[in-house]
Amino acid sequence: MAEKSWSLSGALRGMFSRETITEETWDDLEAALITADFGPDLTETLIDQLRAQVAKYATTDPKDLRRMLRETVEERLSALDSTLTLSERPAVILVVGVNGVGKTTTIGKFARFLRSYDRSVVVGAADTFRAAAVEQLATWADRAGAQIVRPQHEGQDPASVAFQTVQFAVETGTEMVIIDTAGRLQTKGGLMDELGKIRRVIEKQAPVSEVLLVLDATTGQNGLAQAEAFIQHAGVTGLVLTKLDGSAKGGFVLAVQEKTGIPIKLVGQGEAIGDLTGFTPHVFAQQLVG
């Protein structure tokens, strides 16, 4: 399999080709973790943890160190449950995040993902101020084989579109509802109020099963700042990391989960409709560390 751009394999190759673990090994490992955007705190924690393990098992073999790193990353990633909660009918999923992170694309891919499990899906275009956004979402819904509820006029109250989408699902027995929302962060207060209103209106008809925050993996640690506002105000239940295919920041995956305390539930690795998968710590740790 081709090496992923975010894999540490290349950076670790040199140090793991040495015969024994030396101080240089630790320096190289630290540099590799920092470069991969684990962040300084997590890098230090991991190095300390690994040093303790190496001492405990009295090993000098770099292969043992690699295995310990892989297991440690997997264990830390597994600390939170990455399973989507979609058992309600309808299951309502709110998708939030700032413009440009890949929200619309993710909704299209996610609709297709659910359709591939034979679930009926309706998407709600509650980003009503950008006509182009509605059209883009409609194209994705069509490709995914999902229904769409659009605003009746530009600028219609997003909450009323969300309400109508859930109402459509209830009336037609559609199993999954995915609601797109606006992502204009320049009006942060307004946006958070809008998300709160959307949620309240939906809950008159059905509980909200998931609030997924979409984050662009290429922004790395910088993306954390914008995540904060959503996490504080929008009741986020899961993270979706997009553009991991173009990112050299594999460490961000663990860093973002630990910093936010919110599990990663989906990962986007490409622009095509099939490029979205659930998040499996074992597979990810394997590919990251090699």
Annotated binding residues for GTP, written as ranges, equal 97-104, 180-184, 242-245
Between residues 42 and 148, which has the closer beta carbon with respect to ligand GDP? 148
Write out the H or E segment, with its range, that includes residue 59. Answer: none
Q: Which of 100, 145, 190, 207 binds ligand GDP (CB under 6 A)?
A: 100
- Token pair, residue 187, equals 């009006």
**Which of the ranges 79-87, 111-119, 164-172, 267-275 carries the binding residues for ligand GDP, by CB under 6 A?**
267-275
**Which of the ranges 38-46, 64-72, 94-102, 257-265 carries the binding residues for ligand GDP, by CB under 6 A?**
94-102
Whether 265 contacts 279, CB under 8 Å = yes
Whether 21 contacts 54, CB under 8 Å = yes
Q: What are the backbone angles phi and psi of residue 260, rounded to the nearest 5°?
A: -90, -25
Token pair 């599990």 in the structure block, residue: 263
Binding positions:
97-104, 180-184, 242-245
The C-alpha atoms of residue 20 and residue 174 are separated, in whole angstroms, by 59
Q: Which of 15, 68, 101, 240 binds ligand GDP (CB under 6 A)?
A: 101
Whether 216 contacts 223, CB under 8 Å = yes
Between residues 71 and 135, which has the closer beta carbon with respect to ligand GDP? 135
The dihedral built from the CA positions of residue 133, 138, 141 and 143, taken in this order, carries a sign that is negative
What x/- string results for residues 229 through 258 when contact with ligand GDP is judged by CB under 6 A?
A: -------------xx-xx------------
277: left (phi over 0), alpha (psi -120 to 50) or beta: beta
| Residues 104-133 close enough to bind ligand GDP by CB under 6 A | 104-105
Q: Does 268 bind ligand GDP (CB under 6 A)?
A: yes
Question: In angstroms, what is the minimal distance from the CB of 99 to ligand GDP?
Answer: 4
Radius of gyration of the chain (CA): 21
Q: Which of 30, 156, 270, 286 binds ligand GDP (CB under 6 A)?
A: 270
Write out the residues near ligand GDP by the rule CB under 6 A. Answer: 99-105, 183, 242-243, 245-246, 268-271, 275
